[in-house]
Amino acid sequence: MNYYVYYKLAPDRLEAARSLVDELFKMVKAQFDVHGRWMRRRDDPTTFMEVYEGVQDEAAFEALLEREGARIAPNRRLERFVSA
């Protein structure tokens, strides 16, 4: 399963969010052996996306994202995709 999480961040939240995203990526790597990527929308410097590909334990992963993700941004949107 591949996960795409997107949200908006105010410019003054960027530094704190970066630190929290780094922490989340370390947890994800340790618990699920998945490398997260953080991206910014090209035409909107306030929209960000986390990408997680190849997640095996969906229930545990989603619980972690729900618990830890709210610290990054309360307005997170989660999308799930599978290979076509």
Instruction: Walk along the chain (84 residues) and give the pLDDT tens digit of each residue.
Output: 999 999 999 999 999 999 999 999 999 999 999 999 999 999 999 999 999 999 999 999 999 999 999 999 989 999 999 999
Q: What are phi and psi of 61, to 5 degrees?
A: -65, -45
Structural domains in the chain (count): 1
Write down the pLDDT at residue 29: 98
Q: What is the mean pLDDT of the chain?
A: 96
Quote the tokens at residue 9.
């961040």
Domain residues for the domain of 14 are 2-81
Q: Any idea what the CATH number is for the domain that residue 73 is in?
A: 3.30.70.100
Tokens 């996960």 correspond to 3
